[in-house]
Amino acid sequence: MELPEECLRLRIYVGESDFWEHRPLYEAVVMTAREAGLAGATVFRSSMGFGANSRIHTSKILNLSTDLPVVVEIVDEPSKIQAFGEKLGTMVKGGLVTIEPVRVVHYSHAKAPE
């Protein structure tokens, strides 16, 4: 698969305790993106953050949260990102979803050693 130089980056900010259809929301987003044929998705788990309710979520031992921030990031061509963004409306009930332009300078998989 090749990507054009001008793409969009979709970021989905949720909590790790958010679910959709009995599975973690971040996992459901990644699997749905794969099924939709998007170029790839990466999940980042954070050690601290807050959202719309301003409640701090942290991994500090004295204040251990079971709902740490999670970001799912997807980069692909604009038409695919826009179409996938519409699917997210049914999946993401709380959190933040952003789309921003990015310039792709390299996209490939590593070749297996011979």
Domain extents in the chain: 6-103
6-103 has CATH 3.30.420.40 classification: no
Tell whether the model's pLDDT for residue 110 goes beyond 90: no
Query: What average pLDDT does range 33-41 have in this prediction?
Result: 96
Residues 6+ apart with CB under 8 A from 63: 56
The band of 89, judged by pLDDT with boundaries at 50, 70 and 90, is confident
Average pLDDT value for the chain? 87
Q: Which residue has the higher pLDDT, 68 or 32?
A: 32
pTM across the whole model: 0.82
Cα of 54 vs its chain's centroid, Å: 21
Cα of 82 vs its chain's centroid, Å: 14
Cα–Cα distance between 30 and 58 in angstroms, integer?
A: 24
Cβ-based neighbour number of residue 76 at 10 Å: 27
pLDDT value of residue 101? 98
Instruction: Using only the alpha carbons of the chain, give its radius of gyration.
Output: 16
Provide the residue type at 63 as one letter: N
pLDDT value of residue 54? 63
pLDDT value of residue 55? 67
Q: Which residue has the higher pLDDT, 103 or 17?
A: 103
